Structure 1
Amino acid sequence: MHRIGYVLKVYPRFSETFVVTEILAREAIGADLRIYAMRPTTDARFHPELARVKAPVTWVPRPTNANRFWQQVTASTQDPEILANFASILPELTELEASDVAQGVALAQRVKADGITHLHAHFASLAGRMAWVASKLTGIPYTVTTHAKDIFHESVNPIWLRRICGDAAQVLAISRFNEGYLQKVLTDTGANLVLIYNALELSRFEYVKPSLPTGTLRIAAVGRFVPKKGFSELLGAVAILAERGVDFSLTLGGDGELDEQLRQKVEQLGLTQQVTMPGPLTQAEVRQLLRSSDVFVAPCVPAGDGNMDGLPTVVLEAMACGAPVVTTSVTGLPEVIRNGETGLLLEPGDVPALADALASIADGDVDTPALAEAARQLIEQNFDSNFQAQRLNTLETTEAP
């Protein structure tokens, strides 16, 4: 009996819809799953799809002082195998925060008791480290899905990235761009790289063929309010539209560290009548927004700290729903948005070009229905969560012991 343990930093997390989609697809084909989270959520809103997840959830205790650290480590190393292996990886453990060590050991004890046969971590950062520790202590193999911040950000520890990926049974890349990047940074680690895109539960994303815009150009953008999303550049572009007299409205959904800064920029640019910022949106609300919009914009840019988007799920959702997409050539985005075929692809940070692209759509110069049709076909071919679940199941149940 194969029993898969999902190792996550936070569960549930509002912004990580791809995790819930993946879990639901795997449960639909009969996978026996357990979820282990290192942190409780601080989100104020939740996607209704969470209610469909059957896997039990364990929040691994995180000690806050030395006494609790030693209590947790002592309690978790009563198992002779875990205790013996703990000593063997002690040099590596000294590189970690004490709370990481305590959680990793506690995770090992719990997954062994739960009969887990394979661990699967999302992100090669905290979750990846915890999966590595638990695997080394128990002998349970693990895979890790890498994304963006965990491999691109300036804070990434290259020693731990190479260690986590090198010791994993498989390392999953969510785009060909990421796969190529990892091939370089993981040279000589023996990492087994596999390309598996994040996917969608297509039954929840009904395709509606768009019409050419008439009247007000309805623009949508959704994401976390962080530099790599490029929302400041988007506001600059729509300000140009306003100067040109283009009739438009922009709905900018999400929240994050730049929330106040973006709201101030809307006021400074005199766009309060055209720009609406409703806060974070559920997937159902995103779908409704996409169906009522003429164009979806994902103006991603490389951030100053090295962070970049991997392949934003909301772009795939827009393509699935029939919302024409305008985005930038960052990481994996050119793999889905082929300029003039499945959307419009621009250079990141080119504000005038973004304004021109939106103006051309407003003028009816872009065959947006044709773009949307081709985009939906691509999503159906390559981003079905049922296919993703089958591939993951095959990987994790046929690996060498």
Structure 2
Amino acid sequence: MSRIGYVLKVYPRFSETFVVTEILAREAAGDDLAIYALRPTTDARFHPEIARVQAPVSWIARYPKGADLWARIAGGIGDPVIGPRLAELLPELADLPGDEVGQGVELARAVLADRITHLHAHFASLAGRMAWVASRLTGVPFTLTTHAKDIYHASVDPAWLRRICGDADRVIAISRFNEDHLQRVLAGTGARISLQYNALELDRFGFEAPTPAHDPLRVAAVGRLVEKKGFHHLVEATATLVGAGRPVEVRIAGSGDLAADLQAQIDAAGLGDRVSLLGPMPQNEVTELVRWADVFAAPCIPGEDGNIDGLPTVVLEAMALGTPVVATAVTGLPEVVEDGRTGVLLEPGDATGLAGALAGFADGTQPADAMARAARALIEERFDSDVQARTLSAWETTEAAPAPAAGAPALAEVSA
């Protein structure tokens, strides 16, 4: 009987709804799961879907130094399975901080005790490294879902990325853009790279055709208030619309380091009655916000530190719900926001173009209804969590992979 261990840096994490959706779909498909978290959550609010997760959660203790850390490593040395492997692996582990080595050993012991047959990690950073350590110490194979910061950020260690991905049973890319990037950076490692989009529980996102735009135009945006989300360009576009006499109301949900800077920009532009920063919202409230809006804006940009969005789940949710999307051509977004068909696609940082696109929805020159219906069809074709769960289960339990839905592109797989 297969038992899958999910390795996550933090669980539960408010911003990672895609992980909970994936776990719920896999449980619904009959998979036996366990969750291993490497850091305690610091979130004060949680999405209600977390209460539906049945998998047991184990927090792998972290010992930065001292006797406790040594006790963990010594315990691994004494294990008949882990001990010989640990001695062989020490030269490679010397590159890691001691607390990570300790956590890796503790995770390995938990994997053996819980009879885990396969590990599945999200992000090729801490969670990926710990899954790699536990796999090497136990012989239990692991798959790895890569996202964005873990493969693009300036802090990414190329040698460790290649080592982890080269040893993984499979490396999952969440967009074709990421797949192409991984093919380049992992060339020569033998990594097996497969495309599998993050997905949605479609039943929770019922489609409603857009109505004529409100006056003022309602615009929603959701995400962490950080550089890569590009919300300062949305504020700039709003100022352009207001200056041209076009009424607009913008609501931005999320929290982050740039909250004060964004509020200062809003105040300086005299937009306090036009742009609201709502703070973090649970997923059910985000859904209500997206339904409220005439347009959903995702003005993403590459950060100066290399940080960049992957394929924001909330964009997929907006498309599923029937709210037209305006987004920028960053990483995987052009794979879903097809300009003029499933939404409006702009170049990153084009605040003038964003203002123009929003004005088009306000005056009815953008084909909102046709875009919304085409967007929903695309989501149903490529982003169904039930199909995602069956695919992941087949990859991790050695069963035959399901055929793609009619009209859907076959899942890509290459060896780098």
Report the TM range for the smaller structure's normalisation.
over 0.9
State how far apart, in whole Å, the 2-side matches of 1:328 and 1:77 are.
51
For residue 288 of structure 1, what is the aligned residue in structure 2? 288
Question: Counterpart of 2:228?
Answer: 228
Residue 359 of structure 1 and its aligned partner are, at CA, apart by 1.1
Any conservation in 2 of the 1:324–1:371 contact (CA below 8 Å)? yes
The corresponding residue for 1:80 is 80
Offset at residue 76 of structure 1 (A): 3.3
For the pair 1:312 / 2:286, whether they are aligned, the reply is: no
Q: Which string of whole-angstrom CA distances, capped at 9 and with x for unpartnered residues, describes residues 150-203 of structure 1?
A: 000000000000001000000000000000000000000000000000000001
Amino acid at match of 1:375: A
Cα deviations across residues 32-72 of structure 1 (Å, max 9, x unaligned)?
Answer: 00000000100010000000000000000000322221012
- Taking the aligned partners of 1:57 and 1:214, their CA distance within structure 2 comes to 45
SS at match of 1:89: helix
* In structure 2, distance between residues paired with 1:83 and 1:135: 13
Q: Secondary structure at the match of 2:388?
A: helix
Is structure 2 residue 287 aligned with structure 1 residue 260? no
Taking the aligned partners of 1:106 and 1:78, their CA distance within structure 2 comes to 12
SS in 2 for 1:103: helix
Q: Tell me, yes or no, if the aligned pair for 1:169 and 1:399 is still in contact at 8 Å.
A: no
Aligned to 2:245: 245
The answer to whether the 8 Å contact 2:65/2:98 transfers is: no
**Over residues 105-162 of structure 1, what are the superposed CA-to-partner deviations in whole Å (9 max), with x where a residue is unaligned?**
1000011110000000000000000000000000000000000000000000000000
Partner of 1:129: 129
Shift of 1:77: 3.2
| Residue number in structure 2 paired with 1:321 | 321
The answer as to whether partners of 1:212 and 1:367 remain within 8 angstroms in 2 is no
Equivalent residue letter for 1:35: I
Task: Specify the SS of the correspondent of 2:14.
Answer: coil
Tell me the SS of whatever aligns to 1:261. Answer: helix
Q: Distance in 1 between matches of 2:215 and 2:59?
A: 51
Where does residue 22 of structure 2 map in the other structure?
A: 22
Aligned match of 1:297? 297
Write the distance in 2 (CA, Å) between the matches of 1:92 and 1:246: 60
- CA shift, 1:214, in A, is 3.4
TM (norm. structure 1) is: 0.99
* Cα shift at 1:96: 0.6
Q: Is the 8 A contact 1:77 1:109 kept in 2?
A: no
**Deviations 1:205-264 (Å, cap 9, x if unpaired)?**
011100121311000000011111001111111111111111010000000111111111
Tell me what 1:31 maps to: 31
TM-score by length of 2: 0.95
How many correspondences in the alignment?
400
Gaps of 5+ in 2: 401-416
Q: What CA distance in whole angstroms lies between the structure 2 residues aligned with 1:223 and 1:200?
A: 17
Structure 1 SS opposite 2:155: coil
**1:268 Cα deviation after fit:** 1.1
- The aligned amino acid for 1:7 is V
> 3-state SS of the aligned residue for 2:9?
strand
**Which AA in structure 1 matches 2:232?**
S
Map 1:38-53 → 2, pairs under 5 A: 38-53=38-53
Tell me the residue number matched to 1:190. Answer: 190
Contact 1:212–1:369 at 8 Å: present in 2 too? Answer: no
Asked if residue 64 in structure 1 is aligned to residue 64 in structure 2, the reply is yes
Q: Is the 8 A contact 2:296 2:323 kept in 1?
A: yes
Deviation at 1:399, TM superposition (A): 7.8
- 2:93 and 2:101 in contact (8 A); partners too: yes
- Report the more deviating stretch, 68-77 or 339-348: 68-77
Which runs of structure 1 show a deviation greater than 2 angstroms over 4 or more consecutive aligned residues?
75-78
Q: 2:76 touches 2:86 (CA, 8 Å); kept in 1? A: no
SS of residue matched to 1:203: helix
* Structure 1 residue identity aligned to 2:295: V
Q: Once the two structures are superposed, what CA deviation does each residue of 1:267-300 show, in whole Å capped at 9, x if it has no partner?
A: 1111110111111111100110111110000000
How well do the aligned residues superpose, as a CA RMSD in angstroms? 1.0
Partner of 2:269: 269
* SS of corresponding position for 1:260: helix
- Contact 2:64/2:98 (8 A) holds in 1: no
Superposition deviation, residue 10 in structure 1:
0.3
Q: CA deviation at 1:73?
A: 1.4
Partner of 1:339: 339
Q: Which amino acid aligns with 2:393?
A: N
CA gap of 1:349–1:369, structure 2 versus 1, over 3 A, is: same
Distance 2:216 2:68 in 1: 60
2:115 is paired with a residue of what secondary structure?
Answer: coil
Identical aligned pairs, as a percentage? Answer: 61
Q: Which amino acid aligns with 1:61?
A: A
Matched residue, 2:98: 98
Whole-Å separation in 2 of the counterparts to 1:103 and 1:272 = 47
- Quick one: distance in 2 between partners of 1:342 and 1:384? 17
C-alpha separation in 2, matches of 1:214 and 1:41: 39
| Structure 1 unmatched runs, 5+ | none
Matches of 2:158 and 2:307 in 1, distance apart? Answer: 15
CA–CA distance in structure 2, aligned partners of residues 235 and 245 of structure 1: 15
Residue 368 of structure 2 is matched in structure 1 by 368
Question: How many Å separate the matches in 1 of 2:53 and 2:261?
Answer: 36
Deviation, 1:335, is 0.3
